[in-house]
């Protein structure tokens, strides 16, 4: 009887079934470790054909240092979800261009025609794919001045009823300017300090399928960074979506939305520029979620080993570090993470966390295979503490990014996760 009560209190852990998907990310890594080789693996989960099932788009790498998609293994891929765990490659004829080293993707119906469109980010480009229907996409480019566009979010930032696009830019990098670095005697990826910072970009949706670069006038171009992830949410409670940008070993940015597409950067004042100890971590993926269900949006992001996955509790006036009080700091101290999502897997009403883990260094580098890690699952215990979940069995890989969505239509959110030079995984969450 007691155990039944406990189960009811804690929620029932679901069954996790791990399936390999047909997509294999190609990083292009060779002996020389060109920076993009460790950064890829972005994806988007969206219903491109309007059949009610979530489909998959994978941004893929390229040959290095040429950045050319010189082989089909580097092609970006679109998979139609046909149900029953079947994903069919429908890239051919879709109009998705096979150009450059793609890093990330974001889906959203920016032209308001009811069909999900796609922005694909990469080294030196922002590609915009307008969903024409029938599995076809119209291609255009957004200006980015050769920057390394890394991730993006569609959101109605000016509350005018259409989706604007915020693009996170990473370091200033060119193949010619790539540094050769060595870690414990072997070629490996360089620390981001060797490369300059970039400003992020904001594109206002003018309607009629037109996007205008308003980075400067909106204020987002004022602060530079080495951006990786973006979390959108109303952190200050003024009813407008704000933008939190994680930066790689630089101060994070919090753009508070002042209305009319004007933003003020307030990461320091809100306590999220860097952890209290002042050490800017390799902040990677982030997610805004209300972990303690107090009605205010909290924040968590991943980072590398010794940096923990910092968790912040929103007091309404600032975001205060909550990693120690919830135990998440202790759990994640020895972990490295990239993508992170908040999903209430056990349906107890408290959002849990899942993280795509692995180091930024290469498995062929000086530190070797310790760079590989398994996926990380963290149970949210009533908003008070996090516990490490052991229910999700995954082998150690170079996991990179993930997205949560109900792929099998059973009402429970699943997770799709990518890994460098390995098949993407569908973590099927079987409802209980």
Partner 1 sequence: MIWVLLILLAQADVARDAMRMGRYEEAAKLYVALAKQYPQDFMIRYNAGLAYYSAKKYAAALAEMKTFLKSQPASAQGNLIAGAAMLKLGQACPSLPYFERAKTLESLPEYLEQRAEAEAACGHHAEAARWFELMTQKQPKNSRGWYGLGLARNAEGNEAAAKAAFERLTLLGPSPELRRLERDVARGLWKAGRFAEARDALLRVKGLGLNEAALEYELGDCHEKLDGPEPALPFYRAAVRLDPKLLSAQAALGRALVTLKLPIEAIPHLEIAAMANIDKSLWLALANAYRAVGRNQDARVALQKAR
280 binds partner 1 (CB under 8 A): yes
User: Among residues 31, 89, 25, 33, which one has the least CA distance to residue 62?
Assistant: 25
Among 268, 316, 369, 432, binds partner 1 (CB under 8 A): 268
Among 31, 277, 295, 411, binds partner 1 (CB under 8 A): 277
Among 329, 343, 404, 417, binds partner 1 (CB under 8 A): 329
CB nearer partner 1, residue 94 or residue 280: 280
Helix (H, G, I), strand (E, B) or coil at 218: helix
Residue 217: half-sphere exposure toward Cβ, Cα within 13 Å: 8
Q: By rule CB under 8 A, what count of residues binds partner 1?
A: 20
Q: What separation in angstroms does the CA of 10 have from each of 193, 204, 353, 428?
A: 44, 44, 15, 21
CB of 320 to partner 1, least distance (A): 8
Among 32, 317, 333, 393, binds partner 1 (CB under 8 A): 333
* Separation CA 348–CA 382 (nearest Å): 8
197 binds partner 1 (CB under 8 A): no
CB nearer partner 1, residue 336 or residue 377: 336
Please, which of residues 368-387 interact with partner 1 by CB under 8 A?
A: 370
Query: Segment near partner 1 (CB under 8 A), from 196-204, 272-280, 349-357, 408-416?
Result: 272-280
* Separation CA 168–CA 286 (nearest Å): 13
397 close to 419: Cβ distance less than 8 angstroms: yes
* Separation CA 323–CA 311 (nearest Å): 5
360 binds partner 1 (CB under 8 A): no
210 binds partner 1 (CB under 8 A): no
CB nearer partner 1, residue 115 or residue 226: 226
* Torsion region of 268: left, alpha or beta (phi above 0 gives left; psi -120 to 50 gives alpha): alpha
CB nearer partner 1, residue 204 or residue 321: 321
Q: 312 forms bridges with which residues in the sheet? A: 299, 321
272 binds partner 1 (CB under 8 A): no
DSSP string for 293-345: -SSS-EEEE---TTS---EEEE-SS-EEE-HHHHSHHHHHTT--EEEEEEE-T
Query: Given the rule CB under 8 A, which residues bind partner 1?
Result: 251, 268-269, 271, 273-280, 305-306, 321, 324, 329-330, 333, 370
């Amino acid at each position: 009887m007691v155990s039944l009560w406990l189960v009811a209190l804690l929620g029932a852990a679901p069954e996790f079934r791990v399936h390999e998907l047909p997509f294999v990310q190609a990083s292009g890594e060779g002996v020389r470790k060109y920076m993009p080789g460790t950064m890829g693996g972005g994806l988007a989960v969206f219903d491109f054909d309007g059949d009610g099932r979530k489909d998959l788009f994978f941004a893929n790498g390229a040959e290095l240092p040429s950045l050319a998609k010189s082989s089909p293994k580097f092609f970006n891929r679109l998979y139609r979800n046909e149900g029953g765990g079947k994903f069919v490659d429908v890239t051919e004829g879709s109009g998705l261009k096979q150009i450059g080293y793609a890093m990330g993707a974001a889906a959203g119906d920016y032209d308001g025609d009811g069909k999900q469109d796609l922005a694909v980010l990469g080294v030196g480009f922002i590609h915009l794919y307008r969903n024409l229907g029938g599995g076809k996409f119209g291609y255009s480019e957004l200006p980015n001045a050769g920057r390394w566009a890394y991730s993006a979010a569609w959101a109605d930032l000016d509350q005018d009823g259409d989706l604007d696009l915020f693009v996170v830019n990473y370091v200033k990098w060119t193949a010619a300017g790539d540094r050769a670095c060595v870690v414990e005697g072997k070629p490996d990826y360089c620390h981001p300090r060797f490369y300059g910072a970039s400003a992020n970009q904001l594109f206002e949706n003018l309607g009629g399928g037109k996007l205008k670069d308003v980075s400067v006038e909106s204020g987002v171009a004022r602060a530079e960074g080495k951006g990786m992830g973006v979390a959108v949410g109303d952190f200050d409670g003024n009813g407008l979506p704000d933008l939190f940008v994680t930066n790689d070993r630089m101060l994070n940015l919090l753009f508070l939305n002042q209305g009319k597409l004007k933003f003020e950067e307030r990461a320091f004042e809100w306590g999220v520029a860097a952890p209290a100890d002042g050490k800017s971590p390799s902040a990677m993926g982030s997610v805004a979620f209300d972990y303690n269900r107090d009605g205010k949006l909290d924040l968590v992001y991943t980072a590398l080993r010794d940096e923990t996955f910092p968790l912040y509790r929103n007091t309404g006036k600032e975001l205060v570090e909550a990693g120690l009080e919830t135990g998440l700091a202790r759990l994640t101290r020895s972990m490295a993470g990239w993508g992170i999502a908040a999903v209430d897997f056990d349906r107890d009403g408290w959002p849990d966390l899942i993280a795509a883990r692995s180091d930024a260094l290469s498995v062929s580098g000086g530190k070797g295979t310790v760079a590989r890690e398994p996926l990380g699952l963290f149970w949210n215990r009533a908003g008070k503490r996090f516990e490490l979940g052991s229910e999700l069995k995954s082998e150690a890989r170079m996991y990179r990014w993930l997205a949560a969505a109900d792929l099998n239509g059973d009402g429970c959110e699943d997770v799709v996760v990518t890994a460098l030079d390995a098949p993407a995984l569908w973590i099927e969450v079987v409802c209980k």
